[in-house]
Structure 1
């Protein structure tokens, strides 16, 4: 499995000298989010996406598609390692939308990234399908805040019963902090993600099997599709909502507005 770095950089529209610096890390993460959308179409259409690097490049880099967290962050991890960063894969419990007392399994992939010469590692994540997702890396320091305009994030420690400190990523929303996900710094392996990926893509109660979810961060706005509900949030907070007519219109919106192209004859659930 060989990474085609030039093809990846062309896909996200990034030009420059790929060196392991904080500035490069920031610009690569933002460019990735602007360049490759989030989408769960493989599970919706009945298959678990491959996490093999060659398959990820065929789909996300050359195939006019996006993916969900395991695909995005596995690909981005390979890119960062090639550039010269040290990457430790992690897994988080998603807190966004959880009911009080609801303990979800760890199903979200993210990364700790160490930058040569920097005193602290960074939390890096290009695969969280939400408007509360990080646009840039944030220092892994308790209380660290990040003004990744137009968004605003912070990292805090939260109480739990385990032996490792629990970190919580929060995003500012309406003047208050909204929890996004919680994680420890225990490293995970590729085989762990194979199991989690299969579960999320195939379990009959997985939300990623039930409806289409797509997200696209754009310059000036964020676009989200959930089933047939399309929501555009401008950087100034203005929200525009529209209910699509059917799966055929959803396919057109995915192609035109998200840049996600599916084979002719594809039919989406409604």
Structure 2
């Protein structure tokens, strides 16, 4: 095992890397999302978001921070490669909470893996809810620990688009899901080849466009074995084992403490003064 893979396994709570199988993929992705927080703090602090492999490893593993999809899935792809699972990036259009008829830009990255010729999607960087690995098959369905179901559907269009959908409790999301258990689109994607320059451009737009949701308020989440925990602005929501609680964070001091105790993100008082809503 190389040194980086060893450190990554320690970071996500695995004694050893799993085998390069669909079951191994499921195990490492769940461990990743339950250990490494999804967050946009550096965007709000005006720091550049570097998405090369060295930068992602240094920030998310060595410094114990979190990040958003371009950082999370770069680290994930590198570590899967070290395990023996080859992947390539795909760009997606987030659909969660997007009005009907609106076509959003491709500002989410996920991964396409392959096992014995069978393609699978893998995603350790979606902050709205947990997205489990799924075989790239029309109608593929699986259930996660929070009780939600997840489904892939092929949209029969010339560009061969796919849609990832979720049906489950709103409580185990970041709050953008509709308050019902029907299928809701999370994002759409196709299998077009993605270059590093495409990722750099999408990352730059996401981090710097003034109306990007990542520039408007803190967006923080962590997957739980049987639920989900999210901090949107000052609103903290925790869903665990079918029970849900939600409360507003009253002070900057409490907000800073919650970031540390619940999400493992240590911030200075100056940082909090700059970004706490």
User: Could you state the TM-score of these two structures normalised by the residue count of structure 1?
Assistant: 0.92
Distance of 1:247 and 1:41 partners within structure 2? 15
Q: CA offsets, 1:78-104, max 9 Å, x none?
A: 111111112110010011001111110
**Per-residue deviation at 1:17?**
4.7
Distance of 1:225 and 1:82 partners within structure 2? 32
Number of the residue aligned with 1:74: 74
Number of the residue aligned with 1:14: 14
1:152 aligns with 2:149: yes
Distance of 1:54 and 1:264 partners within structure 2? 28
After the TM superposition, which residues 17-32 of structure 1 pair with which residues of structure 2 at under 5 Å, given as runs?
Answer: 17-32=17-32
Q: CA offsets, 1:218-267, max 9 Å, x none?
A: 2333111111111112231x321111113332221111101112245322
Query: 2:17·2:83 contact (CA, 8 Å) conserved in 1?
Result: no
After the TM superposition, which residues 36-47 of structure 1 pair with which residues of structure 2 at under 5 Å, given as runs?
Answer: 36-47=36-47
**Per-residue deviation at 1:172?**
0.8
**Per-residue deviation at 1:192?**
1.2
After the TM superposition, which residues 134-145 of structure 1 pair with which residues of structure 2 at under 5 Å, given as runs?
Answer: 134=131, 136-145=132-141
1:247 aligns with 2:259: no
**Per-residue deviation at 1:50?**
1.0
**Per-residue deviation at 1:187?**
2.0
Q: CA offsets, 1:33-66, max 9 Å, x none?
A: 1110100001111123111222212211021210
Distance of 1:266 and 1:66 partners within structure 2? 15
Number of the residue aligned with 1:206: 212
Number of the residue aligned with 2:124: 126
Query: 2:94·2:188 contact (CA, 8 Å) conserved in 1?
Result: yes
User: Could you state the TM-score of these two structures normalised by the residue count of structure 2?
Assistant: 0.89
1:170 aligns with 2:170: no
Number of the residue aligned with 2:100: 100
How many aligned positions are there? 262
User: Which consecutive unaligned segments of at least 5 residues does structure 2 have?
Assistant: 169-179
Query: 1:3·1:53 contact (CA, 8 Å) conserved in 2?
Result: no
